Amino acid sequence: MLIPWPLLRGEQVDFQGSLGRLRENRGPLHLTNWLTSEHQGEEGTSQTTYQRLFFLYRVYELVLLRRYQNACKRNLTRLDHAFAPIIGKEDEVVRKLRLRLTKALRTLR
């Protein structure tokens, strides 16, 4: 990306905002939901949310649930509490992400 030199002359440039607009305008249409920023009032549809869902899928679904299914189902609140600091969100957000993941996987099966 080429930045015109007059933009760089002693003034503050909002590179994050410019890159965000470029990402929205130039991104492939089928990835629009992935590239949309959470800061635009669309909580739950950004790339960061999908990263968190993928983390839960790998750790919860593929590892813990397959190996310790009964224990996981009995301790969902404790698992949400354990994942919260890793994901960087509150327990309730982790619970909602886990439920969203479970619902999405149920439709695929």
Residue 100 domain-assigned (yes or no): yes
Tally of structural domains, the chain: 1
Among positive and negative, which fits the CA dihedral 81, 85, 51, 56?
negative
Residue 74 domain-assigned (yes or no): yes
Q: How many CA atoms lie within 13 A of 10 on its CB side?
A: 0
Domain span holding position 69: 47-108
Residue 7 domain-assigned (yes or no): no
Nearest partner of 101 among 56, 62, 67, judged by Cα: 56
- Whether this prediction's pTM lies above 0.75 is answered by no
Q: How many CA atoms lie within 13 A of 62 on its CB side?
A: 7
Residue 55 domain-assigned (yes or no): yes
> What tokens were used for 8?
């760089």
Residue 13 domain-assigned (yes or no): no
Nearest partner of 80 among 66, 95, 65, judged by Cα: 95
Print pLDDT tens along the chain (109 aa): 566 666 666 566 666 677 677 666 776 777 666 655 544 443 555 677 888 999 999 999 999 999 999 999 999 999 999 999 999 899 999 999 999 999 989 988 7
